[in-house]
Amino acid sequence: MSSFTCVFCNKKLKSKQGLERHNNICTQKEQLVLIQQIETLRQQYEQQIETLRQQYEQQLTNQREQLEIQREKIDKLENQIFEIAKQPKNITTNNNTTQTHNNRNTAIINQLAPYDLTKDQITQLFYQHFNLATFHGGPEEIVKLTARVILTNPETQKPKVICTDISRKNFRYVDEEQEVQVDPGFQKTHDLIKEPLSKANIRVYTDDLNTADQYRDQWRKNEDFISDRTGFSDQLIKWIV
């Protein structure tokens, strides 16, 4: 006598009609169908996640490119301002004025530690010290870290930069030749620290936080603050004067 076997549970039936009826109630068939449906849904979900990830990464890349374009424009304008500020002024001075100027420079030299860090050294220091607490602390913690790690001599605890005219935003520092240099509008110092700071900010966001959506606003807030020379110097003044 012919027999018909269920391909799902291997049960043998006497007739084709019996097999068809069995297929309608076979529990192993139902389980297999559910497993296939679950696998299909899982694959669809993973594809959606991958698509969203790629879209987000592209958006982030576009934002960085636009930000870099704006930075280049700002840097160009700031360099023009700085070159104008460096032009010598035709001021008639006498011996007393010259002596006062020399005395002031001597006082500044005694007050400050030489500013001797390169951009590579600054990048390394921020890599070591810019952590999750700094990231979440935002502008206040970023400024405090910069003042403590970059703009203070670790041995003498002397500042490396001071603001000698808050209203005009005139900063001064001492170079490696012990000469007092003027930093109008905090431009020189900001040019040295903003790129290493930005790298440290994005490193924590991408490496430690895996670019999680809930931290994107904090990353952007930090990035905007780091790029804002005026806002950055305003916050920094209270830590270096």
Give the count of domains, the chain: 2
| Same-domain status, 240 and 138 | yes
Question: Is the domain of 67 the same as that of 171?
Answer: no
Question: Residue 97 falls within a domain, yes or no?
Answer: no
Backbone φ and ψ of 162, nearest 5° = -130, 155
- Asked if residue 98 is part of any domain, the answer here is no
Among residues of the chain, what percentage have pLDDT more than 90?
24
Q: 115: closest CA among 182, 62, 19?
A: 182
CA distances from 210 to 7, 57, 134, 167, 170 (A): 47, 12, 17, 42, 40
208 touches 132 (CB < 8 A)? yes
pLDDT digits (tens, 9 = 90+) for 195-239: 999 999 999 999 888 877 888 999 999 999 999 998 998 888 888
Average pLDDT over residues 150-172: 85
All residues at 6 or more sequence positions from 129 whose CB lies less than 8 Å from its CB, including other chains:
145, 149
> What distance in Å separates the CA atoms of residue 174 and residue 110, rounded to the nearest whole number?
10
Q: What is the pLDDT of residue 58?
A: 85
Query: Helices 132-145 and 187-203 sit at what angle, rounded to 10 degrees?
Result: 170
153 and 64 assigned to the same domain:
no
State the average pLDDT for the chain: 82
* 101, part of any domain: no
78 with 165, same domain: the answer is: no
Please check whether residue 223 lies inside any domain of the structure.
Answer: yes
Residue 95 lies in a domain: no
Q: Do 145 and 206 reside in the same domain of the chain? A: yes
| The pLDDT value given to residue 120 | 92
Q: What is the pLDDT of residues 120-156, one digit of tens each?
A: 999 999 999 999 999 999 999 999 999 999 999 888 8
Query: Does 146 lie in the same domain as 225?
Result: yes
Enter the pTM of the model: 0.56
- Evaluate the CA torsion angle 138, 227, 200, 234 in order and state its sign: negative
- 203-207 long-range contacts (CB < 8 A, ≥24 apart) are 203/127, 203/130, 204/130, 204/131, 204/132, 204/134, 204/135, 205/135
Q: HSE on the CB side for 104, CA within 13 Å? A: 11
Beta strands in the chain (DSSP E): 4-5, 12-13, 161-165, 170-174, 180-184
Tell me which of 80-84, 126-130, 167-171 is least confident: 80-84
Q: Strand 12-13 to strand 161-165: parallel, antiparallel, or no bridges (unpaired)?
A: unpaired
On whether both 143 and 237 belong to a single domain, the answer is yes
**Residue recorded with tokens 């002596």:** 99
Same domain? For 153 and 190 the reply is yes
Question: How far apart (Å, rounded) are the C-alpha atoms in residues 208 and 46?
Answer: 23
pLDDT in tens, 107-122: 666 778 888 888 899 9
End-to-end alpha carbon distance in the chain: 103
**Amino acid identity for residue 146 in this structure:** T
**Rounded CA gap, 123 and 202, in Å?**
13
Is residue 132 included in any domain, yes or no? yes
Answer yes or no: do 179 and 231 share one domain. Answer: yes
Residue 231 domain-assigned? yes
**Reported confidence tier of residue 176, pLDDT bands at 50, 70, 90:** confident
In a domain, 114, yes or no: yes
Whether 93 shows a pLDDT value over 70: the answer reads: no
Same-domain status, 78 and 187: no
Which range is least confidently modeled, 80-84, 148-152, 184-188, 224-228?
80-84
DSSP secondary structure, 209-238, as one string: STT-GGGHHHHHHHHHHHH-HHHHHHHHHH
The DSSP bridge partners found for residue 174 are 180
Residues 26, 125 within the same domain = no
Domain that holds residue 186: 108-241
Q: Are 206 and 64 in contact (CB under 8 A)?
A: no
Instruction: Clarify whether residues 118 and 73 are in a common domain.
Output: no
